[in-house]
Amino acid sequence: MSQPSLTLPTPGQQAGRNRRLLEILGAAAIAATFIYLVLTQPADIAGGLGSVSALVAMGGFLLGAVLLIVGVLPTLPTSTVVLIPVALVLNIVLGQLMGTSGLPFYLDSIGTVLIAVLAGPAAGAATGALSSIVWSLINPTVLPFAAGAALIGFLAGTAARYGLFRRFYFAPVAGFLTGIVAGVVSAPIAAFVFGGTSGAGTGAIVSAFRAMGDTLLAAITKQALISDPMDKAIVFTIAAVLVYALPRRTTLQFPFVRRYHVLAGKEPAKRNA
């Protein structure tokens, strides 16, 4: 009977490279889809349903999101993986509540941003994509927005990586900028797949722009540029409040937080208990 090893082997290079490839392919699929949609946009609305655009939008963005998930998930430590369901429930419950409130905000990415701040851009992107996919089991209309949600997680993690969560007033600024990008990327989905937005509040804003003669994509993009930056500024602020409420022992468990000194505070904290 041979003795099994009690220690972990050093991670193999080949497996890591394959995962990296999946991540890059995922990001490329999302980028290519977006570019295609923007380029073909003018012909579309006049042609009626634009079913090819809808297929491309759904297929491309969904494929990208799934590749990202498959690439990123196995690399995450278990402490991050078990936190993802908590983040998803936060996203889904708050998102569902806001969707019926009539306010032009979503608040459906607090959990995603929380994970991104604690575990980094890759974890944030995977959480965003997973959030849309799991939420779609009870609200299928969010499924096509998986790529946008992944982007929000990625950008939030990047903001944390470069210290924007170390100062409280930077968090809403980072959120505002993330919102601009996220809004522009999500607008084609709303336009081509659903022909509008699902909320009553956001619908009113789109109608206003349409009344001024904008194309549907332009109107929805402008609406997104009004709603999303504000929404993400709020979301980033709430996430910052929550992260700073956590005990340091908990936040410092995350290698990402330790390595990039994501949160303000002395290190190590002086305790006298």
Partner 1 sequence: MAPRLNPLTTLTAAAAVLVITTAAASWVVSLTVAAGAVLLAGVTGAARRVFLAAGVILAPFWLSLLVMHGLFFPEGRSVLASWGPARVTTEGLGFAVDMGLRTSAFVLVLLLFSFSVRVPELVAALATLRLPPQFGYVLASTLMLAPIIAARLEKVRQAQESRGLVVGKGVGNRLGAVRLQMVPLVLGLVHDAGIRAQALDARGFRRTGPRTTYTQVRDSPAQRGFRIVAVLLAAAAVAVRIAASLSRGQA
Partner 2 sequence: MNGQVSAAVTLRAAIESFAFHGDARPALRDVEIVAAPGSLIAVLGGSGSGKSTLGRLLGGWLAGGRDGKLKGRLELESVGQQEAWRPLVFFGADSDPQIDPAAWAEQVGYVPQDPAAMLSAVRATVEEELAFGLENRGMERAEMVRIVAETARRTGLASLLERDPATLSGGELRRLAVGCAIVADPAVLILDEPLASLDADGTRTLTELVAAELARGTAVVVLSQSADLLTRLAEPWLVLEDGAATAAGPPDRILAGEELASSGVVVSEPSGAPSGQVQQFAQAQSRARPAKDSVPALELDRVSFGFGTEYLGRPLLLENVVLDVWPGEIVAVTGPNGAGKSTLLRLFNGLLSPLRGEVRIGGEAIAGVPTGVIAQRLGLLFQHPHDQLFERTVLREVFFGLDRRFGASAPVRAAEALASVGLSAAGNVHPHELSGSGQRLLALATVLAREPEVLALDEPTVALDAHGLRRLSDAMTAAAGRGAAVVLVTHDLAFARAHAHRLVELRNGVLAAGD
Cβ-in-10-Å burial (0-12, 13-18, 19+) of 190 comes to: buried
Q: Which residue number, 140 or 268, has a Cβ lying nearer to partner 2? A: 268
List the one residue from 177, 246, 248, 260 that touches partner 1 (CB under 8 A). 246
**Candidate ranges 147-155, 156-164, 203-211, 224-232; the one touching partner 1 (CB under 8 A):** 203-211
The mark string for 52-81 relative to partner 2 (x by CB under 8 A, - otherwise) is -------------------------x----
Among 69, 125, 123, CA closest to 255: 123
244 near partner 2 (CB under 8 A): yes
CA angle at residue 175 from 193 to 99, to 5 degrees?
45
DSSP-derived letter for residue 164 is T
The mark string for 8-27 relative to partner 2 (x by CB under 8 A, - otherwise) is x-------------------
Among 127, 131, 130, 132, CA closest to 116: 127
**Candidate ranges 149-157, 164-172, 173-181, 239-247; the one touching partner 1 (CB under 8 A):** 239-247
Q: Which helix (H) or strand (E) holds 211?
A: helix 200-211
Dihedral sign for Cα 37, 40, 45, 51, please: negative
8 A C-beta contact, residue 171 and residue 237: yes
Q: Give the separation between CA 229 and CA 152, rounded to whole angstroms.
A: 11
Binding positions for partner 1, rule: CB under 8 A: 40, 43-52, 54-55, 58, 69-70, 73-74, 76-79, 81-86, 88-90, 92-93, 99-100, 114, 130, 134, 136-141, 143, 194-200, 202-204, 206-207, 210-215, 241-242, 245-247, 250, 253
Binding positions for partner 2, rule: CB under 8 A: 1-8, 77, 244-245, 247-250, 252-253, 255, 258, 267-273
